[in-house]
Amino acid sequence: MKRILDLIADEMKSAFTACGYDASYAKVVLSNRPDLCEYQCNGAMAAAKAYKKKPIDIANEVVEKLSGDGMFSEINAVMPGFINIRLNTAYLADLMNGMAKEEKLGVEEEGHGETIIVDYGGANVAKPLHVGHLRSAVIGESVKRMGRYLGYNMIGDVHLGDWGLQMGLIIEELRDRKPDLVYFDENYTGEYPSEPPFTISELEDIYPTASGKSKVDEAFKERAQTATFKLQKGYPPYTAIWKHIMSVSLADLKRNYDNLDVHFELWKGESDAEEYIPWLIQDLQDKGLAYESQGALVVDVTEPTDSKELPPCIVRKSDGAALYATSDLGTIIQREKDFHPVKYVYITDKRQELHFKQVFRVAKKAGYVKPETPMIHIGFGTMNGKDGKPFKTREGGVMRLEHLIADIDEAVYNRIMENRSMDEAEAKETAKIVGLAALKYGDLSNQAAKDYVFDIDRFISFEGNTGPYILYTIVRIKSILGKYEAQNPGTTAETILPAASDAEKTLMLELSKYNDVMENAFAETAPHKICQYIFDLSNAFNSFYHDTRILAEEDKARQASWIALITLVKRVLEVCIQVLGFEAPERM
Ligand code: ARG
């Protein structure tokens, strides 16, 4: 369906052209003075310069042409040359009915199954997920769901950090703890056990201990580096340990991501890029792009249009080791080969901005990715505590994601139990659903690049710009629909009539923005725009609801129209929260 602003602009364009002015002046925007009008066109001001006329004269001519137009209830030229517009309620009701008939509620499916890679999550194997991973998971999942809704084949890859020094650290710490394991017996020639030599809780203890040791014990660190190197060269006993680390850690990561309702199509990682690296290094040299600098192999990435020079991208260190950038380039080669994506989106902490800039430029320069394929990095800001510093546990440690989720669920549970009578089991279930919404909406409602304050009390509030407020609105609609159905069994409410009040019209005007918002949020990779929209829509619904006695209405056609209207509100809200990555309970 066409967007409402374009529909109005089309009318405006024919009027401008009919009056002898160029159609490009006929742009229509939402009014910034809702007390005066709903939409406005400011084109007469710009046209005045080109046609050497007074803006108000042009505006008057255009308005004259549109005076009988059924789309508008009001169209006025006001000084110095604005055109103020209000939509006809009958036209708006038609638009609502058209929208309700469409499966996607008027959103154009711009994708036709083309593949887009979303690289998000970015967990590091053997390290527990902490709040820093939350943002990547939550934002990425939403970007993926948006694209899927718009018809793309979205492939989410968790892109694990599974190949770095942490592996050598674990191997050496394991050696210190369990020197008798067969993996450490150089004369061992048998098969390696299929049972992992540790549990997840041991593993979670092994890594931090090893990491701590490496900071004070140089010899230990060197051992870990050697072990990492040997693993990367395919030394069989270490490969066997690595596989155990992977299986134990992945099971735990999957459980955690499931709890977040975050799901990946691919569980690839840095280790999967390994096989492409020798070819990559050779190719970059053959193309004359990579050259030696202070023993390292680097590629220049600065472009003539840059205001300042970017540091070159290092693809091989002087000791021969590959780096983070190398593995990202290797991964791109793999993705091109396997998926032919039309777009890449990476979601990480914004401190990795330079890294991705370098990687994208090398990928394009070397021709691995077509010049027209967008490569986007969404760099997010820090989640802070109320003290404005990066969010920590009460003891000052890194907060584990699992604990954070448990805290928020508990807070919601207490809130539910305070307010209403719900049995404990239902309250627990509901708290999980509402808690996840609170957490995700609290994050997604901020522009990704900004830091934000993680404030449980605010996030779980049923009022204000929060996830629970949105859910509460949906639950309220469900409850009205349930009561209506009980009073009028089997009646189908289909036709939406022209609005009978200002609040009702405002609600319809909000609904009419839906396709624009959804399409635009995806184009700009900006889930916060969907949050802003559903907050506005919920507000418009709640004003209408407080204004209107739906269930007591005696005019049955009018009542059915309201039921159809709020059903549409519910559909829009439900799609939006689905895309944001959460759902609504039946009651709360
Ligand atoms: N594991 C990385 C980290 O914790 C994030 C990976 C992001 N994805 C990528 N393709 N580099 O910082």
Which residues lie closer than 8 Å to 147 by C-beta, 6 or more apart?
111, 116, 118, 154, 522
The amino acid present at 223, given as its one-letter code, is R
Answer whether 361's CB lies under 8 Å from 352's CB: no
What are the helix (H) ranges across 68-157?
89-101, 131-149
Fill in the DSSP letter of residue 271: G
Gap from CA of 122 to ligand 1 centroid (Å):
4
Answer whether 86's CB lies under 8 Å from 72's CB: yes
Strand, coil or helix: 42: coil
Could you report how far apart the first and last alpha carbons of the chain are, in Å? 35
| Partners of 345 in the β-ladder | 118, 376
Ligand 1 atom nearest to CA at 160? 1
User: Is 12 a domain residue?
Assistant: yes
Q: How far apart are CA 88 and CA 316, in angstroms?
A: 65
Gap from CA of 59 to ligand 1 centroid (Å):
54
Gap from CA of 317 to ligand 1 centroid (Å):
19
Handedness of CA 562, 567, 571, 576 (dihedral sign): positive
| Partners of 250 in the β-ladder | none
Ligand 1 atom nearest to CA at 348? 7
Gap from CA of 467 to ligand 1 centroid (Å):
28
In the chain, helix, strand, coil percent, each to 5?
A: 55, 10, 35
Gap from CA of 435 to ligand 1 centroid (Å):
27
- CATH of residue 565's domain is 1.10.730.10
The amino acid present at 194, given as its one-letter code, is S
Q: How far apart are CA 44 and CA 28, in angstroms?
A: 11
Q: Which of 201, 233, 259 is the last residue of a domain?
A: 259
Name the token pair of 184: 């450490």
- Cα–Cα–Cα angle for 462, 381, 332, rounded to 5 degrees: 120
Domain extent for 55: 4-87
| Ligand 1 pocket test target in 352, 376, 380 with most atoms within 8 Å of CB | 352
User: Is 225 a domain residue?
Assistant: yes
Answer whether 516's CB lies under 8 Å from 4's CB: yes
Q: How far apart are CA 523 and CA 458, in angstroms?
A: 30
User: Is 140 a domain residue?
Assistant: no
Ligand 1 first shell, C-beta below 6 A? 119, 122, 124, 159, 161, 328, 346, 348
Q: What's the structural domain count of the chain? A: 3
Gap from CA of 523 to ligand 1 centroid (Å):
23
Q: Give CA 561 to chain center in angstroms.
A: 34
User: Is 547 a domain residue?
Assistant: yes
Q: Which of 238, 259, 280 is the last residue of a domain?
A: 259
- Nearest-CA residue for ligand 1 atom 3 is 122
**With left for phi above 0 and alpha for psi between -120 and 50, is residue 587 left, alpha or beta?**
beta
Which residues lie closer than 8 Å to 297 by C-beta, 6 or more apart?
281, 284, 285, 290, 291, 314, 315, 316
Name the token pair of 397: 């440690």
Q: How far apart are CA 472 and CA 412, in angstroms?
A: 13
Peptide linkage before 80 cis (omega within 30 of 0): yes
Gap from CA of 251 to ligand 1 centroid (Å):
19
User: Is 477 a domain residue?
Assistant: yes
Ligand 1 atom nearest to CA at 356? 11
Gap from CA of 161 to ligand 1 centroid (Å):
6
User: Is 555 a domain residue?
Assistant: yes
Q: How far apart are CA 297 and CA 276, in angstroms?
A: 16
Pair (477, 573) in one structural domain:
yes
Pair (83, 180) in one structural domain:
no
Q: Which of 259, 284, 299 is the last residue of a domain?
A: 259
User: Is 484 a domain residue?
Assistant: yes
- Nearest-CA residue for ligand 1 atom 4 is 122
pLDDT tens by residue, the chain, 588 residues: 999 999 999 999 999 999 999 999 999 999 988 899 999 999 999 999 999 999 999 999 999 999 889 999 999 999 999 999 999 999 999 999 999 999 999 999 999 999 999 999 999 998 878 777 899 999 999 999 999 999 999 999 999 999 989 999 999 999 999 999 999 999 999 999 999 999 988 998 999 999 999 999 999 999 999 999 999 889 999 999 999 999 999 999 999 999 999 999 999 999 999 999 999 999 999 999 999 999 999 999 999 999 999 999 999 999 888 899 999 999 999 999 999 999 999 999 999 999 999 999 999 999 999 999 999 999 999 999 888 888 887 777 778 888 899 999 999 999 988 877 789 999 999 999 999 999 999 999 999 999 999 999 999 999 999 999 999 999 999 999 999 999 999 888 889 999 999 999 999 999 999 999 999 999 999 999 999 999 999 999 999 999 999 999 999 999 999 999 999 999 999 999 999 999 999 999
Pair (471, 576) in one structural domain:
yes
Q: How large is the ipTM?
A: 0.99
User: Is 489 a domain residue?
Assistant: yes
- Nearest-CA residue for ligand 1 atom 5 is 122
pTM of the predicted structure, to 2 decimals: 0.95
pLDDT of residue 131: 77
* Strand 82-87, strand 39-41: pairing: antiparallel
Name the token pair of 37: 């009008």
| Ligand 1 pocket test target in 130, 348, 358, 375 with most atoms within 8 Å of CB | 348
Pair (571, 471) in one structural domain:
yes
| Ligand 1 pocket test target in 120, 159, 382 with most atoms within 8 Å of CB | 159
Ligand 1 atom nearest to CA at 328? 10
Q: How far apart are CA 398 and CA 455, in angstroms?
A: 16
Q: How far apart are CA 89 and CA 86, in angstroms?
A: 9
Answer whether 77's CB lies under 8 Å from 56's CB: yes
Answer whether 516's CB lies under 8 Å from 448's CB: no
Write out 433-486 in H/E/C secondary structure: HHHHHHHHHHHHCCCCCCCEECCHHHHCCCCCCCHHHHHHHHHHHHHHHHHHHH
Q: How far apart are CA 145 and CA 265, in angstroms?
A: 12
